[in-house]
């Protein structure tokens, strides 16, 4: 295998990690949506640690290996329109992810706090946190941006 093949493999593997994280977060959001018992919510949010690792590895990997590919490959340049579009979409994805994370981390932290306090009764505040529509919309926006990124990578408009 050539260096290009290895870089491409790592770029695609990073994209898989990124998509896997989004699938995991989507399932997590769906499962906790109607939960209001602190131990249930806190237990379910433990799985988000896996998503946190996947999203970090995936998002950094697609950026680093994608730029490396654009520099290394003879047919592409970093200033090609589709590469610039991918970089902009990557930034937008990060912004959506940051906003989504703040909302759902607040729900996770509140659930953990209630568990530490010994309060395991259904909690309306906790239910409101896990059902925050802003978090759902930010997550949906992030998923759409990643789909646009994949389309950009597959079809390379203007290349």
- List the domain boundaries for the chain: 3-155
Q: Taking 80 as the threshold, does the pLDDT of residue 159 lie above it? A: no
pTM above 0.85, yes or no: yes
Assign 44 a pLDDT band (cuts: 50, 70, 90): very high
Check: CB of residue 82 under 8 Å from CB of residue 157.
Answer: yes
Q: How many CB atoms within 10 Å of residue 62? A: 25
Share of the chain above pLDDT 70, in %: 100
Q: Taking 80 as the threshold, does the pLDDT of residue 51 lie above it? A: yes
Structure confidence by residue, pLDDT tens digits, 9-29 = 999 999 999 999 999 999 999
In angstroms, the CA 93 to CA 159 distance is: 23
The conformation of residue 151, written as its DSSP 8-state character, comes to: H
Question: Which pLDDT score is estimated for 73?
Answer: 87
């Amino acid at each position: 295998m050539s260096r290009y093949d290895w870089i491409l493999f790592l770029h695609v593997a990073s994209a898989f990690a990124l998509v896997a994280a989004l699938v995991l977060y989507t399932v997590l959001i769906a499962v906790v949506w109607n939960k209001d018992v602190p131990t249930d919510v806190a237990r379910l949010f433990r799985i988000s640690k896996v998503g946190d690792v996947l999203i970090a590895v995936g998002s950094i990997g697609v950026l680093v290996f994608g730029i490396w590919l654009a520099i290394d490959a003879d047919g592409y340049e970093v200033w090609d329109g589709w590469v610039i579009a991918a970089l902009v979409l990557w930034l937008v994805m990060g912004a959506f992810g940051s906003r989504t994370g703040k909302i759902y981390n607040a729900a996770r932290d509140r659930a953990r706090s209630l568990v530490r306090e010994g309060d395991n009764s259904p909690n309306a505040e906790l239910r409101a946190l896990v059902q925050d529509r802003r978090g759902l919309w930010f997550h949906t926006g992030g998923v759409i941006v990643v789909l646009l990124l994949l389309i950009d990578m597959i079809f390379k408009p203007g290349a």
